[in-house]
Amino acid sequence: MTDDSTPTNSTRTNSTLTSRRTVLTGIAATLSTATVVGAQETTTEEGETTTGDETTTEAETTTERGETRTFEVRIVNISGPNALTPEDGEPGPVVLSPGAYAVHTPAVQLFAPGESASAGLEALAEDGDPTTLGEEVTGADGILESGAFDTPIAGGEPGPIGPGSAYGFRFEAAPGERLSFATMFVPSNDLFFAPGPQGIELFRNGDAVSGEVTEQVALWDAGTEQNEEPGTGPNQAPRQSGPDTGPDEDAPVRRIEEVDDGYEYPSVSDSIQVLVVPEGGDLGGQTTAEGETTTGAGGTTTTTN
């Protein structure tokens, strides 16, 4: 996390439950199944709100943020079962890993294009483990809230998600604040989906944004491990022998379009859909590459003729 200013407050944190080994173990199962998802949220006696295994805890506020709004986010895997068509392997879907998010001031960046990835971003981009990245942003200057998402919104075990499934979380933000997140493009060596380093603007002209923000999301190469053909590389999950394996690459973080590795990658818009709405807003339905429409990022799935 980089910061061009020196804000003094960090008002929210939450923990992640996923280890690098756990994520890698879950990927093989995800590749063979797809889950229909539906939101599950509870409120504890201490005032914590949980979504699946995502927990946000209120902490003491040290500076004025202005009036906040509660937002809900859905990160939906809309890829088809044959999104990847490698020359030297079987077709397969895009799989998304657990990820980390942060609400921050405009001066803060989750990563900096053209510079080396942090240890946390490397762990997420190579092995789908958001633990270290979450620790890096929690409590950092300019971070107003941070956390991890690791469980499909229908519930179940923490882990990666395949086509038709979604992650969800909620947070509070005030005008001027932005949202950043990162989730691994699993059939790769070190690629991840994320907004640009400036994050997603949550208010425009004082009004809360509401709707799809996928156009602000890109596929990035962390530059920490040499790329192999997506979905076939021996150093990619679930084929790799363990976490943090594969030849190192000393390259900066870049958009995948700027990487000349000779491989083809599915488009962002055919892989992932991201919706941000104020609490109580319409999360709508999403259409997968196979013509299926999901309602509210899950719950029911119908086929469009």
The model's pLDDT over 232-287, given as tens digits with 9 standing for 90+, comes to: 999 998 788 778 788 899 999 999 999 999 999 999 999 999 999 999 887 765 43
pLDDT for residue 285: 52
CA distance 36 to 150: 16
Which class is domain 18-38+67-303?
mainly beta
Domain boundaries, the chain: 18-38+67-303
Contacts 24+ apart (CB under 8 A), 6-9: 6/141, 7/63, 7/105, 7/107, 7/141, 7/142, 8/62, 8/63, 8/141, 9/61, 9/62, 9/63, 9/65, 9/144
This prediction's pTM: 0.78
Higher pLDDT, 104 or 49: 104
Report which residue type is found at 211.
G
Phi-psi region of 297 (alpha: psi -120 to 50; beta: other; left: phi over 0): left
CA distance 288 to 302: 11
Least reliable range by pLDDT among 115-129, 196-210, 278-292: 278-292
Per-residue b or e along 253-280, where b marks 16 or more CB atoms closer than 10 Å to that residue's CB: beebeebeeebebbebeebbbbbbbeee
Kindly tell me the burial class for residue 43, based on how many C-beta atoms sit within 10 Å of its own C-beta (0-12, 13-18, 19 or more): exposed
* Cα first-last separation, the chain: 45
How large is the average pLDDT for residues 129-157?
Answer: 94
**What DSSP letter does each residue of 3-52 carry, written as one string?**
ESS------EE------HHHHHHHHHHHHH--------EEE-TTS-EEET
pLDDT for residue 24: 46
Find the Cα–Cα–Cα–Cα dihedral 57, 62, 67, 70, rounded to 10°: -20
CA distance 21 to 157: 14
